[in-house]
Amino acid sequence: MAFDETRADVGTLFELDGLTADQVAERVAAGQTNDVPDRATRSVRDIVYANVFTRINAILGVLLVIVLATGSIIDGMFGLLIIANSGIGIIQEVRAKRTLDRLAIVSRARPAVRREGVTLSMEPQEVVLDDIIEVGAGDQIVVDGVVVEAMSLDIDESLLTGEADPVRKSRGDQVLSGSFVASGSGWYQATKVGRDAYAAKLTDEASKFTLVHSELRSGINKILKFITYLMVPAGLLIIYNQLFSSGQSLAPALNGMVAALVPMVPEGLVLMTSIAFAVGVVRLGRRQCLVQELPAIEGLARVDVVCADKTGTLTETGMRLSELRCAEVGDAESSRAALAAMAGSDPRPNASVLAIKEAFPDDPGWGAATAEAPFSSAKKWSGQSYGARGNWVLGAPDVLLDPGSDMARQAEDLGASGLRVLLLGSCDVSVDDPGAPGTITPRALVILEQRVRPEAHDTLEYFSSQNVKVKVISGDNAVSVGAVAESLGLPGGDRPVDARGLPDDRDALAQTLEGSTTFGRVSPDQKREMVGALQSRGHTVAMTGDGVNDVLALKDADIGVSMGSGSPATRAVAQIVLLDNKFSTLPYVVGEGRRVIGNIERVSNLFLTKTVYSVLLAFLIGISGVMSQIMHIDALPYPFLPRHVTMAAWFTIGIPAFILSLAPNHERARSGFVPRVMRLAIPSGVIIGVTTFVSYLLAYAGPGQTDTQKVQAGTSALITLIMIALWVLAVVARPYTWWKLVLIFGSAGAYLTLFALPGTREFFELDPTNVGATTMAIVCGLVGVVLVEIGWWVTGRIHGERRRLFASSADLPGVH
């Protein structure tokens, strides 16, 4: 886009070093501000609305009104589920929202804006129309604008257009928000701010606090959809039976209908899933880990390959100059002066340049450079020309030197010991010449020390113990990368691969990646290709990085992990940001993902078992009503009151599910969530439904039964149901630890108390005094327990799953 001279006098603005305070005030008053929210997290009002007005709450609300209309307030206790579902969901999501918002403030990019001759770091919302914004390598373009000054400015627009190659920008060229600086530096003037900016809507959608695109959530939704299809005919049958076939008066008929319908609704399943995710966000937030998308917690737990950058991930970002080894004795003074001049004039120094600047802080008096070539990961060197003082380049020795030269061999030997080595050389053409760097005369080797992160070894060991492969992918010299990897005990670290010799074919590249672990001299495009090659072999790939050269790979990886000290562009595209820059935080993220996945699978078994037996029992009672009309026999009324099904859920599902959803869980994430859950829920639900129906039939005294006999028959059915449901809980909780056994025996003890105390028996209308009926109920319950136990062992044998009753120390790996 051509520069629009009619809109504003950019040249004048730039000469004045940006807007004045009065000009800023005018634009703020006119609403010309960058009023885009930091994150698209839902407001507290939206959270409350979304948690109160749900389909499940609507169903329970209608049933509650029906029960209350009969005058039986006690039977409306299930209405407390509406309060519990809404209250717990609201509290947890608000906590997670606050955690995310707080961490996002720490993580977000702060543009450098020129005002009244001073460069100010400010919040993105403080940018106004016509502001002059300074950018350098790794910076995000926060608003749309027009370039007013450029020094080898290359903008990567791949996140917007999909075009991988950076675009060179000159004065008057358009830049779009959402892109980032690949190399060089410059200034641009804001022409579109706020919601008018190109990427405002994209950013708004990309950073939502959301549970979408989650395999776990998708599986649960698929199950709920299937259950809904079953609930409709079962519900219609029980309504017909209670209102038209059972011969009961309206109030008990309605109570029985509600008692049948309420347990069909898996009211806590979605809630528990949301809580597990939200609690995961809060827990990781305490470790300074920003989860930009909730499914990332789940996704990282499924990862089987971690691609880690060396610098900033395995090693600390800071460096120090160890030695300056000159090619000739007479080169020492000029080399020091050149390094001091280059480091001192670099407006965006990286870690290597900062170390050089610290070692040579004095200005040699060379003045401003006559030409500059900023560093880029593609060419592996940077350079500056100083007129009569020469043209100087600084970069990778194996790129700039003849491999057979003595200095190249020295650099390789130094790199093999884990040191970072740069070459300082002079060249025969200006550094901005198309043929640069031309012929290079080596002047000195700049030897830098990198400090390996103290926690890196334990982190790599953890991933190895969890069968997660680690690939070290770095732009540094392959030998140097290998030395670091080998020092950390990474298998294959002693056999590094130079990426410049890797095949272009994806299949061949994937084959190489399967057999090697350490790669050096990897270009940004190659990092992206490596991620794609691993994914083509069925791997779930996590990519860690902190530099602008990692952005494309982070974007394409299944899970992108950025260091908090990384460039704004890497933090923007990553799903997880480690604000404390600790690679050792990743095992905790994996652990949280496994806790979420494993615990929700346990909880799903409980809730779906209840739904299956409730639907089946409704079918059986309903069919008896239809048969009664055909065969002119008496129909069976539904055995339970709403208070019975509420009580039955308390200690077999409700409280245990809440505890299990938040408990430690180190089981490895596996695919096949839906079939695995249904393998337990369907047979267990069928066993409970059938045995409860049989127990009820045996205790049922016929249409002429007294009120006492009616209560005794319902109590018998309830005893059978609770016994088997408790055993399902016992199966789901395996392998046992001490606290799980306490949970199971505590739940059983709670029910024994409810059945034993006269007050609770009267309140819940329980009567286990009929010895024959109670004995028969216990026998039916024991039969059901045995069938559930056999089913658990048999399905394990059929599907090749390891079944154990008690946990071992191997089940509880420590997180390093």
DSSP secondary structure of 273-301: HHHHHHHHHHHHHHTTEEESSTHHHHHHH
132, 189 Cβ separation under 8 angstroms: yes
Enumerate the domain spans of the chain.
Answer: 10-40+111-206, 210-281+590-803, 289-314+453-581, 319-451
Q: Which CATH entry fits the domain spanning 319-451: 3.40.1110.10, 3.40.50.1950, 3.40.190.10, 1.10.260.40?
A: 3.40.1110.10
What pLDDT shows up at residue 340? 93
Task: Respond yes or no on whether the N-terminal peptide bond of residue 735 is cis (omega within 30° of 0).
Answer: yes
Q: ∠ CA(481), CA(485), CA(489), 5° rounding?
A: 165
Q: Does 783 or 271 have the greater pLDDT score?
A: 783
Q: What is the mean pLDDT of residues 510-521?
A: 90
Q: Indicate if the pLDDT at residue 516 is higher than 70.
A: yes
Residue 272 pLDDT exceeds 90: no
Q: What is the average pLDDT score of the chain?
A: 81
The answer to whether residue 213 scores a pLDDT higher than 60 is no
User: For domain 10-40+111-206, is the CATH number 2.70.150.10?
Assistant: yes
Q: Is 324 helix (H, G, I), strand (E, B) or coil?
A: strand
pLDDT computed for residue 3 by the predictor: 38
Buried b (16+ CB within 10 A) or exposed e, 568-598: bbbbbbbbbbbbebbbbbbbbbbbbbbbbbb
Highest mean pLDDT out of 399-413, 567-581, 746-760, 789-803: 746-760
For β-strands 518-520 and 391-395, DSSP reports them as unpaired
User: What gap in Å lies between CA 499 and CA 521, rounded to an integer?
Assistant: 5
Mean pLDDT within 374-383: 82
CA distance 536 to 553: 15
Task: Please check the confidence at residue 6 and state whether its pLDDT lies above 50.
Answer: no
pLDDT for residue 687 is more than 90: yes
Cα distance between residue 505 and residue 510, in whole Å: 9
User: How many Cβ atoms are within 10 Å of 25's Cβ, its own excluded?
Assistant: 12
Q: Is 309 a catalytic residue?
A: yes
Question: Residues near 298 by Cβ (< 8 Å), separated by ≥ 6?
Answer: 214, 215, 216, 277, 593, 596, 597, 669
| Structural fold of domain 289-314+453-581 | Rossmann fold (3.40.50)
Q: What's the whole-number mean pLDDT along residues 283-298?
A: 77
Of 81-85, 89-93, 610-614, where does mean pLDDT reach its minimum? 81-85
31: left (phi over 0), alpha (psi -120 to 50) or beta: left
pLDDT at residue 205 greater than cutoff 60: no
Residue 103 clears pLDDT 80, i.e. is over it: no
Question: Binning pLDDT at 50, 70 and 90, where does residue 813 land?
Answer: very low
pLDDT band at 348 (very low <50, low <70, confident <90, very high): confident
Residue 108 phi/psi, 5-degree rounding, is -70, 155
Q: What is the pLDDT of residue 208?
A: 39
Cβ atoms of 393 and 342 within 8 Å: the answer is: no
| pLDDT band per the 50, 70, 90 thresholds, residue 533 | very high
Each residue's pLDDT tens digit, 601-649: 888 888 889 888 888 888 888 787 666 666 555 667 878 888 888 888 8
Q: What is the mean pLDDT of residues 723-730?
A: 95
- Closest C-alpha among 151, 490, 89 to residue 313: 490
Q: Which of 93-102, 488-497, 681-690, 748-757 has the lowest mean pLDDT?
A: 93-102
Query: Is 414's pLDDT higher than 70?
Result: yes
If one compares 567 and 6, the residue with the highest pLDDT of the two is 567
Question: How would residue 774 be classed by pLDDT, with cut points 50, 70 and 90?
Answer: very high
Residue 185: what residue type?
Answer: S
Residue 187: phi and psi, rounded to 5, are: -135, 145
Q: What residue ranges in 660-802 does DSSP mark as E strands?
A: none
Residues 6+ apart with CB under 8 A from 464: 470, 491
Confidence of residue 5 (pLDDT cuts 50, 70, 90): very low
Does the structure show a pLDDT above 50 at 465? yes
Catalytic residue, candidates 309, 476, 546, 767: 309
* Superfamily, domain 210-281+590-803: Calcium-transporting ATPase, transmembrane domain (1.20.1110.10)
Range with the poorest average pLDDT among 124-128, 378-382, 740-744: 378-382
Q: What is the pLDDT of residue 256?
A: 67
Cα Rg, the chain, nearest whole Å: 34
- Reading the block at residue 448, the tokens are 């830098």
Does residue 120 carry a pLDDT above 80? Answer: yes
Of the candidates 529, 523, 502, 184, the one whose C-alpha atom is nearest the C-alpha of residue 379 is 523
Q: 197 near 160, Cβ under 8 Å?
A: no
Q: Which residue has the tokens 């120094």?
A: 349
Give the strands of the sheet with 559-563, arranged side by side: 289-291, 576-578, 559-563, 541-545, 305-308, 469-473, 518-520, 497-498
Q: Encoding tokens for residue 98?
A: 């606050």
Segment 316-343, tens digit of pLDDT = 767 788 889 998 878 888 999 999 999 9
Of 111-125, 159-173, 584-598, 735-749, the least confident: 159-173
